[in-house]
Amino acid sequence: MNGYYGVSSGHGGGALWTLTVTVLTYATFYVKTVQPACQEDNTASSGNHVEMLMWLTDPCRYDRWTRPSPTDSNGKTGGPTRVFTRVYVYFLGSVEAQQLHFTAHILIRYRWRDDRLVHSSSKSSIQGENKLKERVWIPHVYIVNEHDSNIMGSGRQDILVTVQPDGTVLYSARLKVSLLCMMNLQKFPFDEQTCPLILESWTYNNTHLELVWEHDSPAVLNSNLRMTEYNLVSIWTNATVSEYALTKSTPIDENYKNKGYSPSVIEHVHYYGKFAGNYSQLIVNFELEREVGHYIMDYYVPSIMLVVVSWVSFWLDPNAVPGRTTLGTSTMLTFITLSRNTGSSLPKVSYIKATEIWFIVCTAFIFGSLVEFAFVNTIWRRKKNVELKKVNSKHIFKSTLTPQMQRKLSIDSGIDKGTISGKLSRRENKSKSLLSVGDLDPVVCPHPEPLENFSIRVPTLNDNKTSVGGGLFTLTPQEIAQWIDQRSRIAFPAAFLVFNCFYWLYVYL
């Protein structure tokens, strides 16, 4: 072989041999595939769809890399290629709040006109799958908010391409997509989400390609579509233009100027492709409403019951330390565990969610019952009575929080207003002695004795809260503790009821 080409063996001969074989191979391929197909024949009118398609899409007369240019009524070409779009939704599900995305099974169809594929001699359409897709021009449309996607199909991909006699091309594909959805969880689990499916042209801007929704039913839902956690409220479409622009020049511009490049070269550097220009965009919006039945039964009802159970300690004896302590701590720990299980499926966001408001307030009520028990138990164990001017909440709490100071001030005030005076009168018959103390009823002493042997009994709160001297009342620590428990039985449920009114109005309005 080396002798045939007149070269010796070695590196130079091997390189020449490789070059010769490559040239002969490409020449043979060109002669077999391109040259015969460029000849005029009757293949297009023979009625064989396969042969007709091969003749129409032959590389010598059809460039699959060039977009079809529409023709106006005057026969002039120009303007953007209009691609009509329709979406059919098979299934929606797996809305993951933690990952901020949802899944969908859709059938998407594009329709455009390609005058190069007109075959009016045949009255039927030409259909094909991947083979036909590889021979005709297909618009490159991508999903902007795509998290993951793939063309579905068992064995081979579910793709269908149809070429109609007037040159209309229909491209359909069945997709399984995972779409990003920026959810607003402020009212979780009473939230409503609007999750989009965004389609946008990748290769051509809106001066060359325009995406348009079909006039009739651009987005169609499966009539048997059912969702588990969400309810599909509505679906609507929108068409817009996505703008890409660079606000700052890149350092490469100065480098090109410093190297002496002409303005035309620098202008070519300014072409950034997808980073600059306006691109046609289509949007399908899915309005989803979360089903709250699961959260009502598994979170709100148990948490309400736990808060109510924590109030049972108000009916126990203030000195029942083991029972009230166990009841308060067990309800607190159970509620925290319940809330942690509910919030584990949510992302960590900067704002406060409705479930967090519920958690904080319910925790405060349970913790408040524990604090109330510690307060009344401390009062119960005191030894000295508390003297009051009036038996009301203000004076009881002031005297309870500062018992020594309050008692001293009360005694001093009583002395200023007048001390207890006793009047003793002896009658002439000396058979009776009358002792009066303040406004007390007279006491008759049938056997008078010397004054030093008399004892004066001053009534307290147990005697119908009778006032003494300057309007003083005396309460034992046990009475104060029981009084606080009685008021707590009403105050805690009333406050929790008011909170529920405001909370449910907030989440539903």
- pLDDT tens-digit profile of 306-351? 999 999 999 988 888 888 999 999 999 999 999 888 877 788 888 8
Give the integer Cα–Cα distance in Å for 87 and 107: 6
Cα distances (angstroms) measured from residue 23 to each of 14, 20, 30, 33, 242: 14, 5, 11, 15, 46
How would you classify the pairing of strands 209-213 and 126-128?
unpaired
Under a CB-based contact definition with an 8 Å cutoff, are residues 311 and 493 in contact? yes
Residues 60 and 156 in one domain: yes
Cα distances (angstroms) measured from residue 414 to each of 247, 398, 419: 83, 18, 7
Burial of 442 (0-12, 13-18, 19+ CB in 10 A): exposed
Q: How confident is the model at residue 124 (pLDDT cuts 50, 70, 90)?
A: confident
Q: How far is CA 416 from the centre of its chain?
A: 68
pTM for this predicted structure: 0.69
Total of domains in the chain: 2
Tell me the H-state helices in 344-476: 354-380, 393-401, 403-417
State the CATH number of the domain containing residue 325.
Answer: 1.20.58.390
Give the integer Cα–Cα distance in Å for 72 and 79: 9
Name every residue whose Cβ is closer than 8 Å to that of residue 314 and which is 6 or more positions away in sequence: 369, 372, 485, 486, 488, 489, 492
Residues 202 and 341 in one domain: no
Give the integer Cα–Cα distance in Å for 160 and 371: 71
* Boundary (domain end) residue, out of 290, 323, 346: 290
> 């001093």: which residue's tokens?
412
> Per the domain annotation, does 447 fall within a domain?
no
Residues 307 and 386 in one domain: yes
* Boundary (domain end) residue, out of 290, 322, 346: 290
> Per the domain annotation, does 311 fall within a domain?
yes
Q: How confident is the model at residue 39 (pLDDT cuts 50, 70, 90)?
A: low
Give the integer Cα–Cα distance in Å for 203 and 265: 23
Give the integer Cα–Cα distance in Å for 78 and 426: 133
Which residues span the domain enclosing 61? Answer: 49-243+274-290
Q: How confident is the model at residue 27 (pLDDT cuts 50, 70, 90)?
A: very low
Q: How confident is the model at residue 400 (pLDDT cuts 50, 70, 90)?
A: low
Per residue in 267-318, pLDDT tens?
Answer: 444 456 777 788 999 999 999 999 999 899 999 999 999 999 999 999 988 8
User: Nearest Cα to 460, choosing from 471, 468, 452?
Assistant: 468
Q: Is the pLDDT of residue 28 over 80?
A: no
> Per the domain annotation, does 454 fall within a domain?
no
Cα distances (angstroms) measured from residue 261 to each of 117, 249, 255: 44, 17, 9
Residues 314 and 238 in one domain: no
pLDDT of residue 9: 40
Residues 285 and 345 in one domain: no
Per residue in 150-190, pLDDT tens?
Answer: 999 888 899 999 998 888 999 999 999 999 999 999 999 99
Under a CB-based contact definition with an 8 Å cutoff, are residues 199 and 211 in contact? yes
Beta bridge partners of 161: 128, 171
pLDDT of residue 384: 76
Higher pLDDT, 255 or 176: 176
Cα distances (angstroms) measured from residue 76 to each of 69, 72, 167, 318: 10, 6, 17, 96
Residues 60 and 100 in one domain: yes
Residues 284 and 328 in one domain: no
Beta bridge partners of 289: 192, 231
Question: In this structure, how many other beta carbons lie within 10 angstroms of the beta carbon of residue 7?
Answer: 16
> Per the domain annotation, does 10 fall within a domain?
no
Give the count of alpha carbons within 13 A of 301, CB side only: 7
Tell me the H-state helices in 67-154: 130-133
Query: Which helix (DSSP H) or strand (DSSP E) does residue 99 occupy?
Result: none
* Boundary (domain end) residue, out of 230, 255, 290: 290
> Per the domain annotation, does 145 fall within a domain?
yes
Residues 68 and 110 in one domain: yes
Tell me the H-state helices in 237-297: 251-258, 263-269, 293-295
> Per the domain annotation, does 462 fall within a domain?
no
Q: How confident is the model at residue 38 (pLDDT cuts 50, 70, 90)?
A: low
Residues 222 and 355 in one domain: no
State the CATH number of the domain containing residue 207.
Answer: 2.70.170.10
Residues 382 and 281 in one domain: no
> Per the domain annotation, does 435 fall within a domain?
no
> Per the domain annotation, does 401 fall within a domain?
no
Under a CB-based contact definition with an 8 Å cutoff, are residues 221 and 106 in contact? no
Residues 215 and 332 in one domain: no
Q: How confident is the model at residue 388 (pLDDT cuts 50, 70, 90)?
A: low
User: Nearest Cα to 448, choosing from 461, 460, 435?
Assistant: 435
Give the integer Cα–Cα distance in Å for 284 and 211: 13
Q: What stretches of 79-145 adopt beta strand conformation (E)? A: 81-96, 101-113, 126-128, 141-143
Break the chain down into helix, strand, coil percent, rounded to 5. Answer: 40, 25, 35
Per residue in 421-451, pLDDT tens?
Answer: 443 334 444 434 333 444 444 444 455 545 4
Q: How far is CA 437 from the centre of its chain?
A: 75
